[in-house]
Amino acid sequence: MFSKDFLFGASLSGFQFEMGNPNNEEELDKNTDWFVWVRDLGNIINGKVSGDLPEYGAGYYTNYKAVHNLAKEFGMNALRIGIEWSRIFKESTKDISLDDPNMLEKLDQLADKKAIEHYRDVLEDIKSKGLVAIVNLSHFTLPLWLHDPINVHKGKETEKLGWVSDDAPIEFAKYAEYIAWKFKDIVDMWSSMNEPHVVSQLGYFQTSAGFPPSYFNPSWYLKSLENQALAHNLAYDAIKKHTGKPVGVIYSFTWYDTVNNDEEIFESAMFLNNWNYMDRVKDKIDFVGVNYYTRAVIDRLLVPIKIDNYELNWYTLSGYGYSCVEDGFANSKRPSSEIGWEIYPEGLYNILKEIYNRYGKQIYITENGIADSSDKYRSFYIISHLYAVEKAINEGVPVKGYLHWSIIDNYEWAKGYGKRFGLAYTDFERKTYIPRPSMYILREIIKERSIDKFKGYDPYGLMNF
């Protein structure tokens, strides 16, 4: 059973949902690193990115009301959106000092008024539908004045090093405080940033994933992670100056299974990929936002790799977790999604227990979903992951909400439009959103606030843990 006040909703971000019309200048967000990155010729020719362009997307910027209606009709009581830093500040905020007593007013001069107005409209519509409004301030993208991904990628001299630069946390704190100041009246919950570790890992270490700047540099991987932690901490205090509403961070947690129950590499992997960031911000969070998709299975590396002080002594096995064939089956015989991710709900249960044991905070599931264009697995993906959540709650973990990723189909970064995570099928051409069958199942669950009706039917054996 999920309590009356348990949040059931969906998560969106800015870049992946907003644009939808290449001819609508207001919708276009040309000032962000990803906008440039995904249209770089070399990236396209060499398959680092799909070639799909974000301006042909779902069009949430213009059609947000239709999406909010959908959320309401299907029983949701919360929605998470992202505000795009690069829309608010098209140009650098570096000239305005953090110590300046008139900082907010000066930032207000610099800020794009239309963008501010737009996000207020969006938030007011969310509130008008009776939905809890959750705002996340940074979701992968950085303003171009902070990050020049092409030049970094090519090794060219540039000051715009993104999160590697020590300026970034400062500028982020300004932006965060400004947004808090502008929207404190209407936002119910705040998150500083989304999946900081992914930004660092795919940007500087696992550079084959197609994320900007795809520049292999293990030290920068660690440096950018530290800077993102610092940025969060500064932002937390900055937001808290203006509001008593809860402020947290959204993190993509991975559960690790090891070959041969190898405790040492388990600890090592859990530390590097989960705790290394979270430990740095643990005193400045009111809640933990948990994004969970699947696990990883790891084995010991015979010759460890040094990353500054950290010794990487494990590697990820393909055939499990995030490393499966697309639209097939993992080596565990469980289905793998159209993006090649194993369906593994017990990983969510496991990680929830670990997170609560370590940090003792309230938890929200801020992302959970599946790339499944034909909706063949999504109903059971939801049911089985809610089973994991319920089991954790029953054992005392204070999970307070579940936000599905996502309510409509989105632009899946380097992979483009082919990976469909939406509860509602999105016709990118017509900008229509047609609920898939699984959305009716989620509606039923929300109505009942329970998955009991679905227990006992478990075609993939996902709910026997």
Are residues 382 and 366 in contact, defined by beta-carbon separation less than 8 angstroms?
Answer: no
Q: Does 464 bind a second copy (CB under 8 A)?
A: no
Among the listed ranges 83-91, 133-141, 360-368, 457-465, the one in contact with a second copy (CB under 8 A) is 457-465
Give the active site residue among 84, 367, 390, 412. Answer: 367
Cα 388 from Cα 402, distance rounded (Å): 12
Among the listed ranges 29-37, 206-214, 289-297, 385-393, the one in contact with a second copy (CB under 8 A) is 206-214
Minimum separation from the CB atom of position 292 to a second copy (A) = 22
> Smaller CB distance to a second copy: residue 138 or 201?
201
Q: Does 440 bind a second copy (CB under 8 A)?
A: yes
The residue behind tokens 């939808």 is 20
Q: Does 130 bind a second copy (CB under 8 A)?
A: no
Kindly write down the DSSP assignment for every residue of 232-284, as one continuous string: HHHHHHHHHTT--S-EEEEEE--EEEETT--HHHHHHHHIIIIIHHHHHHGGG
Q: Output b/e per residue, 401-414; b: 16+ Cβ within 10 A.
A: bbbbbbbbbbbbbb
Bridge-based pairing of strands 399-404 and 362-367 is parallel
Site string for a second copy, 230-269 (x = CB under 8 A): ----------------------------------------
Cα 253 from Cα 294, distance rounded (Å): 9
Question: Which of 195, 375, 390, 412 is close enough to bind a second copy by CB under 8 A?
Answer: 375
Question: Which of 276, 316, 331, 373 is close enough to bind a second copy by CB under 8 A?
Answer: 373
Strand partners, 289: 250, 364
Q: Does 206 bind a second copy (CB under 8 A)?
A: yes
Q: Does 444 bind a second copy (CB under 8 A)?
A: yes
> Smaller CB distance to a second copy: residue 259 or 434?
434
Site string for a second copy, 278-317 (x = CB under 8 A): ---------------------------x------------
> Smaller CB distance to a second copy: residue 287 or 433?
433
Question: Quick one: how far is CA 287 from the chain centroid?
Answer: 15
326 classed as catalytic? no
Minimum separation from the CB atom of position 407 to a second copy (A) = 14
Question: Which of 22, 47, 130, 304 is close enough to bind a second copy by CB under 8 A?
Answer: 47
Residues whose CB falls within 8 Å of the CB of residue 329, separated by 6 or more in sequence, listed in order: 335, 336
Among the listed ranges 22-30, 83-91, 170-178, 373-381, the one in contact with a second copy (CB under 8 A) is 373-381
Cα 82 from Cα 122, distance rounded (Å): 11
> Smaller CB distance to a second copy: residue 191 or 368?
368
Number of residues this chain uses to bind a second copy (CB under 8 A)? 45
> Smaller CB distance to a second copy: residue 175 or 341?
341
Q: Output b/e per residue, 348-376; b: 16+ Cβ within 10 A.
A: bbbbbbbbbeebebbbbbbbbbbbbbebb
Are residues 80 and 10 in contact, defined by beta-carbon separation less than 8 angstroms?
Answer: yes
> Smaller CB distance to a second copy: residue 310 or 425?
425
Site string for a second copy, 419-438 (x = CB under 8 A): ------x-x--x-x-xxxxx
**R_g of the chain computed on alpha carbons:** 21
Q: Does 441 bind a second copy (CB under 8 A)?
A: yes
**Count of CB atoms situated within 10 Å of the CB of 226:** 18
Minimum separation from the CB atom of position 208 to a second copy (A) = 4
Dihedral, 281, 412, 72, 193 alpha carbons, nearest 10: 20
Q: Which helix (H) or strand (E) holds 354?
A: helix 345-359
Active-site amino acid positions: 367
Binding site for a second copy (CB under 8 A): 41-42, 45-48, 153-156, 205-208, 215-218, 305, 373-377, 379-380, 425, 427, 430, 432, 434-438, 440-441, 444, 453-457, 459-460
